[in-house]
Amino acid sequence: MKRILPSIYILAVLGIGIQFGLAQTNAIAVKLDDKTQEILQGATSDHWLETFASAFLGGIMAIAAAWIAFRWQICKEKNEQKEFNLRVLEAICCEVKTLREIYDEGSGKMLKEHKAGEPFFRWLHISQEHFTVFESNAEHIGRIDSELAKQIIVVYELMKLMIESFGVNSRYIGELEKINAFLRTDEKNPHLLQQRKWYWDQLVYQAEILKKLDARMGAAADKLFSGFDQIKQQCKI
């Protein structure tokens, strides 16, 4: 009996050990099939990083392309505006040159030859209605080079002032002719004689104004043409 009890105890311990060992062996020896392993491997891989990197680079390239297109459009619009401004400036200079030639061949030439201290008995056959190009492009002048824009305004203001001054001179000539007509029948009329002297003096003074305006207008026009030539040279470069 004493020999049997230890034997039973040893067998019980061995049985428990075998069961535990079998349980541990089953837990570790689980083997997955190839398809399942492939799915698990794909789920735990780093494909999300590649996808994120591709999306990020794609976004950067799209932004860069949009920026380049935007800058190209701006440059295109600037170049078109420069070309348009140059054409407007060229048209204005052409108008000023044409009016100046007409003036220099007529009243302008006679005004330069006029003697100081005498009335200028000439008419001007140019009016502000001849400023067609300037009037139709006045709204675009502000987009031209600031110095040239100022010079254009100076030239046209002087031309307008010259036309107005010639208008005053013409009215004085007309009034003087009327008085002289009355004096032919009443040559000693003191009132008519006084009026004739006043208009004569005004015509002498007006002639001085016209000569000064003529010089200022010529200098302003030359400065405008010089500035325009410089702009054209810069555009060629």
Q: Hunting for tokens 């004096």 — which residue is that?
A: 183
pTM of the model: 0.65
Q: Considering only 8-17, 92-101, 102-111, 173-182, which range has the smallest mean pLDDT?
A: 8-17
Within a domain: 200: yes
Nearest CA to 224 among 100, 131, 137?
100
Using CA atoms, how far apart are residues 196 and 110, in angstroms rounded to an integer? 24
DSSP single-letter state for residue 142: G
Using CA atoms, how far apart are residues 228 and 24, in angstroms rounded to an integer? 99
Within a domain: 71: yes
Within a domain: 136: yes
Q: Considering only 54-58, 180-184, 199-203, which range has the smallest mean pLDDT?
A: 54-58
Q: Above 70 in pLDDT, residue 140?
A: yes
- The pLDDT of residue 117 is 92
Tens of pLDDT, residue by residue over 52-110, are 667 767 777 778 777 777 676 666 666 666 787 788 888 899 999 999 998 999 889 99
- The pLDDT of residue 38 is 60
Q: Which domain holds residue 185?
A: 55-236
DSSP single-letter state for residue 118: S
pLDDT band for position 222 (50/70/90)?
very high
Q: Cβ(158)–Cβ(217) under 8 Å?
A: yes
Residues ≥6 apart with Cβ < 8 Å to 72: none
DSSP per-residue letters across 146-199:
HHHHHHHHHHHHHHHHHHHHHHHHHHHHHHHHHHHHHHTT-TT-HHHHHHHHHH
Token pair for residue 154? 């100076």
DSSP single-letter state for residue 96: H
Within a domain: 2: no
- The pLDDT of residue 11 is 38
What percent of the chain shows pLDDT beyond 70?
A: 70
Number of domains in the chain: 1
* Secondary element (H or E) of residue 59: helix 47-105
Within a domain: 9: no
- Residue type at 86 in one-letter notation: L
pLDDT band for position 49 (50/70/90)?
low
Specify the higher pLDDT residue, 17 or 110. 110
Within a domain: 86: yes
117: left (phi over 0), alpha (psi -120 to 50) or beta: left
The three state secondary structure string of 64-84 is: HHHHHHHHHHHHHHHHHHHHH
- Average pLDDT of every residue of the chain: 78
Within a domain: 40: no
Q: Considering only 6-20, 170-184, 221-235, which range has the smallest mean pLDDT?
A: 6-20
- The pLDDT of residue 233 is 78
Within a domain: 128: yes
Specify the higher pLDDT residue, 113 or 47. 113
- The pLDDT of residue 225 is 92
